[in-house]
Structure 1
């Protein structure tokens, strides 16, 4: 950390904590919806396999939910400790939005989570299913408020600036700002895809080890249907999101594509897609570029002769880091294409009757398990790094948003965060993966009550974190 400024250290610290945290809400959103679907299918068909799967995945959901709440608390404090300039400038918008999240999503989840976790054989099946649906709805409402706040930072609307501070003038414009619908849809689908790949990897692992075959087949089938449907939809949503970004944040698009010159590209008729290369911020060029003529125009403008502004059209101080964005964007897109192909391959094997017998495909499903989360992280870095050098795009620069700290204390807190996060959440993630790989216990009766007593998978810390007063102190601060 030698030589880094307080601003750089604060950015690294927030990036590190949000990268850890974002994994948990993504799985929480996906698993909550999956659990609601499982319980609905059990109530409709009375097929005991669905209840067995519900009781298996609710353990992982509870553990993941608890880690999400704890990791989200940290970021709420970082806004005040490391980013006081941002809080003073934009607190009139972001403060109420996060408060609305607490008053709606957290209270809804806190009210029904206990019934969902502990209510089997204690409440009627209708009430238990309603509780599961309410928790799933709460995760969606939470993501809505968080994405409204984050999207406003990218495409601010419905405000005036009074005495150097943002004052909202139209809350509908604030919430439904130009990028909000695209970001929310893109994030929710990413969460569903990440969870589907996680579920598919768990079931494939169990099939490879000849464990819980009926239940494993059922959840592999459901997960692959989700991937088959959601992955192409995500590509369409991503395209619409890209067009919106091109309109409101053209410098980000230029950096993602590694394009520097506008006129030079148009002289050749449109501009190419740079498949691979190394953007050089100092030399203002993309070195070793491998290009496909006009494909960039077709993808970004839906026209063979369309154009985008090159990075040289923007002042140096307004350019995001093209070297990072170029590769994070390609990581996200590459994994997205892999998901589409994976879903199609699963469909072909299903039609041939070889879906559960092909050990090569099952091994591929295990390897694809983390692909959704990696793509989500790559996409999140593309979004947030691409907003630089602004915290609130076009209004507040990052160096004006950071707190007046010396580099030493920020470096110390960053080192402590890294150590604590890897120890605490590393243990939690390892245990969650152990549960997922084990599958439903052999011989589990579908009508058995899940165990949440001493030594169960719901530690006392999770129960405390899920209490209403703890929830009100903020949970998942960024999604």
Structure 2
């Protein structure tokens, strides 16, 4: 099959491109919003101006991501009408309203208070400003709730039934609170927070490695590690709960995640595949390294192995995911990164307890700082990999078990879809270059420690700092 002449394949590729690129930006804003609430709250509690400068600096990166996120999110909404019109007509009464809730409730709330958060530092009462910051963070995470509620409904449709090709809602709240919703929202919440923490930690490590404001950014690194102590293990646990849900509600996806072709009967634990080379054509793995009985005990331990673990051959080829290798390795990449970040957090805690995070010692931990710098983009990769597992593993269904993906695509000439796909690729490449340029410029400039601090603005900024937190303002070359 020539995918470049296949409207379904091209429409899927276009939506994948726009979704993967768009996801890069709200992932950081939703998690960084919580970080901004933390540092501004610490400033209000302690009146330590160091926290104030942190809030001002990281807010610049927040607004950059917010702007790109808005610009790339709108085309995704339009695609439901242009490329996926039959799907929109079939489920629009519910799915469309949920997306409307996201725009009207979450996005407008975040956008409405964003101006106060960015420009209201010396114009409103500090407590009012803090309330605005909380509302921005709440709006960003409320957006996550509605998007995940809508997507979870695609995974486990509930609250109605399809009648004459159209989904009729019987119970609106049951549809929103579908079986996947709670775990999915929790998993994505911690994913965005974890990604943001390691981005902030990686940037902080870069400053320390380059001997720029080392004492200042050692504080942000400590905050990140303190929060990550709870976030990283929780994310792994919630990810396991999500996999258990997949095993119960979407056994075809589980089989693809594990490249499992043959069924393991009840009472016989299934092997856990570590690395394999799936062969879709021959319906087997060309080679595989596995742990005997591992998967069965992971998934069925509480059930005393009372249920079989189904293999892909239990379904007809048209009723199961075709891109098994992509799903299989995306799942392992996501899981591996999760454990790596948890391990990095554990090592960092040990070093902190050993006194290696003290201002005079932290710059000497070059191996640890370089690992944090390496970890900065890994959260993005894990999130994108997770969404690949979630959406590609759902195929061939756009609404699982109800509406096939091929039936939800608009009847458009393949050439037109290819043209729009190439335009999106060009525009998004330009946006990415611009985002990297402005983001790197913000980071190169560093924090402005000469800003007046509300309440003590008549004093020079450097006099409000404890002596040990006065940054070295010389050029990098002179410092070295």
TM-score (norm 1): 0.90
SS of aligned partner of 1:120: coil
Unpaired segments ≥5 residues, structure 1: 450-479
- Asked if structure 2 preserves the Cα contact closer than 8 Å seen for 1:67 and 1:428, the reply is yes
**Aligned-pair distance for 1:106?**
2.2
**Aligned-pair distance for 1:85?**
1.1
- Asked if structure 2 preserves the Cα contact closer than 8 Å seen for 1:325 and 1:385, the reply is yes
**Aligned-pair distance for 1:234?**
0.6
SS of aligned partner of 1:391: strand
**2:330 counterpart of 1:328:** yes
Question: How do residues 142-157 of structure 1 correspond to structure 2 at under 5 angstroms?
Answer: 142-157=143-158
Superposed CA deviations along residues 424-479 of structure 1, whole A, max 9, x for unmatched, are 232113321442355314x4346289xxxxxxxxxxxxxxxxxxxxxxxxxxxxxx
Question: How do residues 283-302 of structure 1 correspond to structure 2 at under 5 angstroms?
Answer: 283-302=282-301
**Aligned-pair distance for 1:2?**
6.7
**2:272 counterpart of 1:273:** yes
Partner of 2:351 in structure 1?
349
Question: How do residues 46-125 of structure 1 correspond to structure 2 at under 5 angstroms?
Answer: 46-125=47-126
- Asked if structure 1 preserves the Cα contact closer than 8 Å seen for 2:4 and 2:414, the reply is no
**Aligned-pair distance for 1:196?**
0.3
- What is the alpha-carbon distance in structure 2 between the residues aligned to residue 386 and residue 444 of structure 1? 52
Question: How do residues 111-190 of structure 1 correspond to structure 2 at under 5 angstroms?
Answer: 111-190=112-191
Q: 1:440 pairs with 438, 447, 465, which one?
A: 447
Partner of 2:403 in structure 1?
396
Partner of 1:13 in structure 2?
14
Count of aligned pairs: 446
Unpaired segments ≥5 residues, structure 2: 456-480
SS of aligned partner of 1:387: coil
Partner of 2:23 in structure 1?
22
- Asked if structure 1 preserves the Cα contact closer than 8 Å seen for 2:271 and 2:296, the reply is yes
TM-score (norm 2): 0.90
SS of aligned partner of 2:412: coil
Partner of 1:453 in structure 2?
none
Question: How do residues 373-388 of structure 1 correspond to structure 2 at under 5 angstroms?
Answer: 373-388=380-395
Superposed CA deviations along residues 202-240 of structure 1, whole A, max 9, x for unmatched, are 000000011112220011111122223211101110111
- Asked if structure 2 preserves the Cα contact closer than 8 Å seen for 1:203 and 1:439, the reply is no
SS of aligned partner of 2:393: helix
Superposed CA deviations along residues 122-165 of structure 1, whole A, max 9, x for unmatched, are 00001100011011111121111111111101100001323321
User: Considering only CA atoms, is the larger Rg found in Structure 1 or Structure 2?
Assistant: 2
For the structure 1 residues 205 and 43, does the alpha-carbon distance in structure 2 shift closer, same or farther, using more than 3 Å as the test?
A: same
SS of aligned partner of 2:447: coil
- Asked if structure 2 preserves the Cα contact closer than 8 Å seen for 1:200 and 1:369, the reply is yes
User: Which fold has the larger relative contact order, with Cα–Cα distance below 8 Å and residues 6 or more apart in sequence?
Assistant: 1
Partner of 1:454 in structure 2?
none
Which sits farther off after the overlay, 101-110 or 61-70? 101-110
SS of aligned partner of 1:160: strand
Superposed CA deviations along residues 61-115 of structure 1, whole A, max 9, x for unmatched, are 1111011111000101111110111101110111111111222112212321111
Partner of 1:232 in structure 2?
233
**Aligned-pair distance for 1:4?**
4.0
Partner of 1:467 in structure 2?
none
SS of aligned partner of 2:242: helix
